[in-house]
Amino acid sequence: MSAVAVVTGAAQGIGKETALLLAEKGYSVTVNDINGDGARRTVAEITERGGQAHVVEADVGVEDEVRRMIEETASVFGRIDVLVNNAVVYDHEVHVTDLDIVSTPQWNWERTFAVNFHGAVYGARHAIPVMLKNGGGTIVNVGSTSGFSGDTVHVAYAASMAAKYSLTRSIAASHGKAGIRCAAVATGLVLSPTARKNLSPDKLAAYDANLLVPDFAEPRDVAETIVFLASPGAKYITGQTIIVDGGFQAHQPWHAQNHIVHPETVR
């Protein structure tokens, strides 16, 4: 029997590429998204390539829907070995109203935490008992480097990411000896379909000036890290948040203005 993975938010972007890559590695995959049509397209790609996949349309911000997703996966595939908590809420209405601590409305805080943080809580809560029936498993929580750095906007989003990384450490500590590993991936800007659609050339240029690598990541690049963390090759990695951001967190904040701050380095 093949190993089984559940990937949330897998209709597009990083989640989709993660589901496709896990299927390539031989996993049977439950593809989840609130966008059922998109999730079904991901499943179709997996099956067309000879893999096994099952779709569960569900809102991970609602615990009963997450419980149904986990129970349905266990019923269809018989086990769960990997859970990738990738789903986040970042639609236009949420994006433009998540500003600062004074301005961000309460409904935004509640929806952002329901999906970004509580979705991971619900997933782990219901998947871990199923994993333990077969000796353990791995949880990978996917977030953003926003959880490490303050900004002038997106206060709720950033706080939910920081909470997700704390949750990662707590799961690793509480269930590690029982056979559950838990790690997280913090991404920088990734050229997902949403990013390509929403970011102006000026914004992309500002990001690019602060990259320490030649180009932006594609969703598949992040999926490679997620799938590695889920694999036996990462069996000694737990409780950690791996930063996949092209070097944004690795340099001084004036990197892009280095020719002004440190003119002696200009060649």
Read out DSSP for the chain? ---EEEESS-SSHHHHHHHHHHHHTT-EEEEEES-HHHHHHHHHHHHHTT--EEEEE--TTSHHHHHHHHHHHHHHHS---EEEE------HHHHHH---TTTS-HHHHHHHHHHHTHHHHHHHHHHHHHHHTTT-EEEEEEEEGGGTS--SS-HHHHHHHHHHHHHHHHHHHHHGGGTEEEEEEEE--B--HHHHHH--HHHHHHHHHT-SSSSPBPHHHHHHHHHHHHSGGGTT--S-EEEESTTGGGS-TTGGGHHHH-GGG--
Number of domains in the chain: 1
User: What is the domain extent for residue 135?
Assistant: 4-265
Confidence of residue 1 (pLDDT cuts 50, 70, 90): confident
Q: How confident is the model at residue 224 (pLDDT cuts 50, 70, 90)?
A: very high
pLDDT (tens digit per residue) in 40-85:
999 999 999 999 999 999 999 999 999 999 999 999 999 999 999 9
Question: Is residue 266 over pLDDT 80?
Answer: no
pLDDT value at 194 more than 80? no
To the query of whether residue 165 is one of the catalytic residues in this protein, the response is: no
* Residue among 27, 90, 122, 157 flagged as catalytic: 157
Q: How confident is the model at residue 196 (pLDDT cuts 50, 70, 90)?
A: confident
pLDDT interval class at 195 (50, 70, 90): confident
Q: What is the CATH number of the domain that holds 184?
A: 3.40.50.720
Residue range 76-113, pLDDT digits in tens:
999 999 999 999 997 889 999 999 999 999 999 999 99
pLDDT recorded at residue 68:
98
